């Protein structure tokens, strides 16, 4: 299992594709042509604007014209790669639903990157944009057709794109027309750079980015320093499956390109630097300013923490698993980062919600770039990154869509002990962070439990007086979603090591407990004149738990009645 859950080395990946012109598992799949609609309309045309090669980030206008009878079931799909000719596959409804997404989406044999109903143009159904296609001898129009324009947000996903005009809705679509094939101006462009801490000194930072270029690239930083990247990738063979086929192994696969990672050494904590990454052949990123975190045991720390964010389209498209609040949350965090009020970021599980639809990792990395490129973006693994049947996860739900942690650990290398052991600790300022995986074995005889026990017992409280424990699945929630065995096994460690604060996600809302242990409230805070709650840390009783899974996913509703001795009701929202 260990080898299957590790990103492939570049040389190993190349060997498996030596008979192909590019590293793309689509070339290994049997593809069937898209079915054409009956009674084809000879007047239908598609036009894409601008017509030039695609930039790294732009809006594309797709115009369909020559439509005789506009229908609310007409839609346009963005297909990538363009050679992914697919047919209708009704059984793929199960591939959407196994990840928890029950929205109505196109049932093609290959997942469309985006889909929009043409009726998003309000003039389409009423045919306000008319054109005469046939005139009789007296000049009277015999055939009038309708047109519409819709806008797609496109980012550089390296592979070619084609827009396809479908009729008959999402359930049994047929092809009305296809656009020309669109290529990116620079499919090798280094993009979506994001930072993470590698230790507690604040003197080193890891930078990870994505490119279509397999050759090592460089990062230039701190006015004269440079490092060469280590390059990895992963293939469709690294994805999980079982008796139930997974999206990642099937129609959700998209070539990830190459993932570059490098450690920038020789920095100073709590200091501004700049960097750029890339190469002369593949291109360079813009110069980006970033800040190192305070070293462990030094300054006070301001950090942003949240869970369950995901991503949402910046157009009117329908996609797999849209998290409507994610864009507003990123904008709010970007404002905090720009103001200098944050030192680091912790995203505690359910990262992108790609769940086997691999192209969505690119859109997520694009979304977080305004913050993750400027501060360490630390992560914890969640069920939607790791869980799948027969994969070794604690929970055997198909929530990762067959990813089984491979894309997550490839895109977000954390200071963990080894692959598929996604737990670690790190110190920033006066805080010792303990980051665990609720998806891996946490029982008393497990490697992770032994690590947790040893790590928390070794904390020097004179150096880092605060201990914050981070995971994904909660121990307390008025919404349920609590595994009592997890609580029974791990909660005593928190009290034994005097953990101050516990942060969990998974529940898509915000809740905070009193200082609680074994479901009993041991201490309540006092509220100051400024509205801030304060606990008497000199008289430690138990950790405070906070659920912070409210960063993007549609919010869960709380039940009407909650025990006031365990949940502080006024802190919901």
Q: What are the tens digits of pLDDT across the range 338-397?
A: 999 999 999 999 999 999 999 999 999 999 999 999 999 999 999 999 999 999 999 999
Q: What is the pLDDT of residue 83?
A: 81
Q: What is the pLDDT of residue 19?
A: 31
- What's the rounded mean pLDDT across residues 558-569? 55
- What's the rounded mean pLDDT across residues 164-188? 95
The chain-wide mean pLDDT, for the chain, equals 91
Q: How confident is the model at residue 29 (pLDDT cuts 50, 70, 90)?
A: very low
Looking at the chain, the whole-number percentage of residues with pLDDT higher than 70 is: 91
- What's the rounded mean pLDDT across residues 138-155? 95
- How far the first Cα of the chain sits from its last, in Å, is 41
Q: Return the closest-CA partner of residue 303 out of 471, 145, 428.
A: 428
Judge whether residue 105 has pLDDT over 60: yes
Q: 253 — phi, psi (to 5°)?
A: -70, 140
Distances (CA, A) of 477 to 19, 382, 443: 53, 17, 21
CATH classification code of 31-178: 2.60.40
Q: What is the pLDDT of residue 153?
A: 99
Question: Please, what's the b/e burial string for 302-329 (b: 16 or more CB within 10 A of its CB; e: otherwise)?
Answer: ebbbbbbbbbbbbbebbbbbbbebbbeb
Judge whether residue 39 has pLDDT over 80: no
pTM: 0.92
- What's the rounded mean pLDDT across residues 103-120? 95
Of 149-158, 185-194, 342-351, 563-572, which range is least confident? 563-572
Judge whether residue 547 has pLDDT over 80: yes
Q: What is the pLDDT of residue 37?
A: 78
- What's the rounded mean pLDDT across residues 520-528? 91
Q: Give the sign of the dihedral formed by CA 410, CA 412, CA 418, CA 423.
A: negative
Please state, in angstroms and rounded to a whole number, the distance separating the CA atoms of residues 160 and 270.
42
Please state, in angstroms and rounded to a whole number, the distance separating the CA atoms of residues 538 and 106.
58
Contact status, residue 79 vs residue 110, Cβ threshold 8 Å: yes
Q: Return the closest-CA partner of residue 200 out of 307, 301, 336.
A: 301
């Amino acid at each position: 299992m260990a080898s299957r859950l590790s990103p492939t080395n570049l040389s190993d990946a190349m060997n498996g594709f030596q008979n192909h012109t590019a590293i793309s598992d689509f070339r290994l799949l049997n593809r069937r042509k898209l079915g054409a609609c009956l009674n084809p309309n000879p007047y239908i045309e598609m036009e894409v604007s601008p017509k030039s090669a695609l930039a790294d980030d732009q809006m594309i206008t797709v115009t369909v014209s020559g439509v005789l009878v506009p229908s609310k079931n007409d839609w346009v799909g963005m297909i990538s790669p363009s050679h992914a000719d697919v047919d209708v596959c009704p059984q793929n409804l199960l591939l959407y639903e196994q990840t928890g997404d029950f929205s109505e989406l196109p049932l093609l044999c290959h997942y469309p990157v985006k889909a929009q109903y043409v009726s998003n143009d309000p003039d389409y159904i009423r045919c306000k944009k008319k054109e005469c296609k046939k005139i009789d001898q007296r000049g009277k129009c015999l055939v009038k057709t309708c047109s519409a324009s819709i806008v797609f947000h496109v980012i550089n996903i390296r592979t070619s794109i084609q827009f396809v005009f479908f009729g008959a809705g999402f359930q049994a679509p047929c092809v009305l027309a296809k656009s020309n094939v669109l290529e990116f101006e620079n499919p090798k462009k280094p993009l979506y750079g994001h930072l993470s801490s590698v230790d507690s000194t604040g003197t080193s930072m890891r930078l990870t980015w994505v490119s279509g270029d397999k050759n090592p690239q460089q990062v230039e930083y701190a006015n004269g320093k440079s490092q060469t990247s280590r390059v990895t990738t992963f293939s469709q063979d690294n994805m999980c499956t079982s008796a139930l086929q997974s999206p990642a192994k099937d129609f959700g696969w998209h070539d990830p390109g190459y993932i570059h990672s490098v450690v920038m050494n020789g920095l100073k904590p709590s200091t501004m630097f700049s960097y750029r990454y890339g190469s002369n052949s593949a291109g360079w990123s813009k110069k980006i300013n970033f800040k190192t975190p305070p070293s462990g045991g030094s300054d006070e720390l301001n950090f942003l923490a949240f869970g369950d964010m995901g991503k949402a389209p910046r157009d009117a498209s329908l996609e797999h698993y849209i998290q409507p609040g994610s864009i507003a949350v990123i904008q709010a965090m970007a404002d905090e980062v720009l103001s200098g009020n944050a030192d680091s970021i912790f995203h505690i599980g359910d990262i992108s919600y790609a769940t086997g639809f691999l192209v969505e990792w690119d859109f997520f990395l694009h979304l977080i770039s305004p913050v993750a490129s400027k501060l360490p973006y630390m992560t914890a693994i969640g069920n939607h990154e790791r869980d799948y049947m027969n994969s070794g996860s604690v929970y055997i739900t198909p929530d990762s869509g067959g990813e089984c942690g491979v894309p997550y650990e490839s895109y977000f290398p954390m200071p963990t002990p080894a692959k598929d052991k996604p737990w670690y600790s790190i110190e920033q300022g006066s805080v010792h962070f303990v980051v665990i995986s609720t998806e891996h074995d946490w029982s008393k005889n497990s490697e992770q439990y032994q690590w947790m026990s040893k790590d928390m017992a070794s904390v020097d409280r004179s150096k880092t007086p605060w201990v914050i424990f981070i995971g994904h699945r909660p121990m307390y929630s008025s919404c349920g979603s609590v595994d009592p065995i997890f609580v029974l096994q791990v909660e005593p460690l928190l009290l034994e090591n005097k953990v101050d604060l516990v942060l969990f996600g998974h529940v898509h809302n915000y809740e905070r407990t009193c200082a609680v242990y074994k479901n009993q409230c041991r201490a309540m805070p006092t509220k100051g004149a400024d509205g801030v709650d304060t606990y008497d840390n000199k008289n430690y009783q138990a950790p405070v738990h906070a659920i912070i899974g409210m960063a993007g996913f549609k919010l869960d509703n709380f039940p009407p009645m909650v025990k006031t001795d365990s949940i502080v009701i006024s802190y919901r929202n």
